[in-house]
Amino acid sequence: MNKYLKFKLSGGGTTLVPIGSGAYAELATATEVKIFSCDSVGHHYSLATTGATFDMITAIQEACIQGAQTSWVHAVVEVNIPLGQTVASAAVTAFA
């Protein structure tokens, strides 16, 4: 069963990022968070963020753990984005 992280976007709407067999979040800068899937070696998910800190990374990792612990009928886990931090968009970025 596939599981997904759900992010609320600052401009409205949401986006989903698959967790797969596992995911690793990296704070690249305050304006970019990268999520690497254990299931892919060819790309990562890039979140355009505002004010991102390690608290956002912690929130993403906590959502991954929650997703792994929930039953298959709960495929989507919302990431609780910390106060003062936002996600504007998400993109799939191929490794160069």
Mean pLDDT rounded to a whole number for the chain: 92
Residue 31 has pLDDT above 80, yes or no: yes
Q: Tell me how far apart the alpha carbons of residues 39 and 49 are, in angstroms, rounded to a whole number.
A: 24
pTM over 0.75: yes
Residue range 58-79, pLDDT digits in tens: 999 999 999 989 887 889 999 9
Task: Report, as an integer, the average pLDDT of 24-46.
Answer: 92
Task: Report, as an integer, the average pLDDT of 28-33.
Answer: 97
What pLDDT was estimated at residue 96?
61
Q: Name the strands in the sheet holding 14-18, side by side, starting at the edge strand that comes first in the sequence.
A: 14-18, 4-8, 76-78
Q: Which residues form the domain of 90?
A: 4-94
Total domains in the chain come to 1
